[in-house]
Amino acid sequence: MKGTGFSSYESFKLDTRGLAPEGNRFLSQTKLAEQSGDQLYVELWVSLASLLRSYTAAHGLNGDRQATVELGKDQITVRHGNAWLDLKRNGAHVTWSRDDGQNGMLELTEAGQLRSNTGEEEMDMAAESWAREMMR
């Protein structure tokens, strides 16, 4: 093979076999993909907390009402008076519970939606709904 630095096709073939996604390289790529996926869910989690802050503040503008939104690595807690919403995350899976005993399970999607057994909802729409209910 002229100009490639390889004297024959066979030596070229042998040298490029090491570039195939196998062994440690494949594991490294898999681990990188997992870390990227985890990072995505962390970013979505922070975004959800930010949306809850924004919507509770907006719903409190007409009165002297204010909610607190606490963000932890795997937990978001929203409080307003005696009302509270507790969200806990494990990877993409989210469990939520309310002061009135309501609870459920959701899944964060890569598209930034929340999936339940009844379908998918945009994350901002879910945050606005929770904020509206809490700030009554």
Query: How many beta carbons lie within 10 A of that of residue 40, not counting itself?
Result: 15
Do residues 71 and 49 make contact, with C-beta atoms less than 8 angstroms apart? yes
**Residue 69 pLDDT > 50:** yes
Q: How far apart are the first and last CA of the chain?
A: 76
- According to the model, what pLDDT value does residue 31 have? 56
Mean predicted confidence (pLDDT) in 109-132: 96
Instruction: List the one residue out of 101, 73, 65 whose CA is nearest residue 85.
Output: 101
23 or 71: whose pLDDT is higher? 71
Q: Which amino acid is at 113?
A: Q
Do residues 80 and 87 make contact, with C-beta atoms less than 8 angstroms apart? no
**Residue 55 pLDDT > 50:** yes
**Residue 4 pLDDT > 60:** no
Beta strands of 44-100 (E only): which ranges? 68-71, 75-80, 83-90, 93-98
Residue 90 pairs in a beta bridge with 93
Which one-letter DSSP state was computed for residue 87?
E
Q: How confident is the model at residue 122 (pLDDT cuts 50, 70, 90)?
A: very high
Domains contained in the chain, CATH given: 40-134 (3.30.920)
- What phi and psi, each to the nearest 5 degrees, are found at residue 90? -135, 95
**Residue 28 pLDDT > 90:** no
- What phi and psi, each to the nearest 5 degrees, are found at residue 113? -110, 165
